[in-house]
Amino acid sequence: MAGLANYVKESFNELKNNVSWPTWPEAQRLTILVAVFSIIFSLAIWGIDTVFSRVIKAYFNLM
């Protein structure tokens, strides 16, 4: 149990002293960037899935 307490203490110390946190405006900008790219990629995957689905349906309708 002492090992777990030591791990938590060292982790907190690491986060407090050694991590460089982004500024609030930078965090907001990066969050918006991630959201936009997530939407773009999800639309691309949806489009590819729709095309493949129609191709497979057409193939099986021919048989």
Q: What is the pLDDT of residue 2?
A: 79
Q: What is the pLDDT of residue 14?
A: 92
Q: What is the pLDDT of residue 22?
A: 93
Q: What is the pLDDT of residue 63?
A: 84
Q: What is the pLDDT of residue 11?
A: 93
Angle at 36 between CA 33 and CA 38, to 5 degrees: 105
Domain ranges in the chain are 23-63
Provide DSSP, 1-63. -HHHHHHHHHHHHHHHHT--PPPHHHHHHHHHHHHHHHHHHHHHHHHHHHHHHHHHHHHHHH-
Q: What is the pLDDT of residue 46?
A: 98
Render pLDDT for 1-50 as a digit per residue (tens, 0 to 9).
Answer: 778 999 999 999 999 999 999 999 999 999 999 999 999 999 999 999 99
